[in-house]
C-alpha cells in the first residue's frame, strides 16, 4: 500500500479550484468539509486534493500551517479508502472550519467518517447515472 502524497496529487490549478467552488458539491463532518467535483477522464491521477484552513478562525500562520499539516497527514494515511472505491477521477478541496482545536486522533476519525460520507454520495450519483443510461 502506497502511503505517499506526491506532487502530482496536489491541487494547484486555479481554474480547477474555481470550478470546485462554482460547480462542486460538498460533504461535511464537523469541523471538516470536503468540496468535490468529478475531474476530466483523461487526468493521470485519480485524486487531486488541496487543503485549506481559514484565516478567520486561526489568525496566526503557525496555527493554520499546523492544521494543514494534520489534514494532509490524515489524507495521506486514509487515501486508500478513496482510491479503492471511487469510480472516476475527482478534484477535492479539504477544509478545517472551526475555532475548536481538535487533537490529531479526533481529526483522523472525522476524516475517515468524512471520506465514508463522500463515498456514499459519489456512489449514489454513480448509481443514478447508471439507471438513466439503462
Alpha carbon distance 55, 81 (integer Å): 29
Alpha carbon distance 73, 65 (integer Å): 12
In the structure grid, which three cell numbers stand for residue 54, read together?
481559514
Alpha carbon distance 56, 97 (integer Å): 9
Q: What residue ranges do the domains of the chain occupy?
A: 7-123
What per-residue confidence (pLDDT) applies to 134?
Answer: 55
What per-residue confidence (pLDDT) applies to 125?
Answer: 75
Quick: pLDDT tens for 51-75. 999 999 999 999 999 999 999 999 9
Q: Give the mean pLDDT of the chain.
A: 90
Alpha carbon distance 57, 16 (integer Å): 25
Alpha carbon distance 82, 40 (integer Å): 17
Rg (CA), the chain: 15
Q: Which CATH architecture describes the domain 7-123?
A: 2-Layer Sandwich (3.30)
Quick: pLDDT tens for 101-133. 999 999 999 999 999 999 999 888 767 776 666
What per-residue confidence (pLDDT) applies to 96?
Answer: 95
Alpha carbon distance 99, 84 (integer Å): 33
pTM for this one?
0.88
Amino acid at each position: 500500500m502506497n502511503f505517499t502524497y506526491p506532487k502530482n496529487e496536489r491541487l494547484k490549478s486555479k481554474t480547477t479550484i474555481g470550478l470546485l467552488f462554482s460547480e462542486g458539491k460538498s460533504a461535511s463532518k464537523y469541523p471538516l468539509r470536503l468540496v468535490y467535483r468529478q475531474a476530466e477522464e483523461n487526468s493521470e491521477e485519480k485524486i487531486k486534493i488541496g487543503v485549506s484552513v481559514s484565516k478567520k478562525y486561526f489568525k496566526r500562520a503557525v496555527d493554520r500551517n499546523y492544521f494543514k499539516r494534520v489534514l494532509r497527514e490524515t489524507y495521506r494515511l486514509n487515501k486508500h479508502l478513496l482510491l479503492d472505491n471511487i469510480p472516476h477521477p475527482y478534484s477535492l478541496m479539504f477544509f478545517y472550519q472551526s475555532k475548536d482545536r481538535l487533537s490529531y486522533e479526533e481529526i483522523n476519525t472525522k476524516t475517515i467518517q468524512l471520506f465514508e460520507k463522500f463515498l456514499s454520495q459519489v456512489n449514489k450519483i454513480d448509481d443514478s447515472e447508471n439507471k438513466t443510461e439503462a
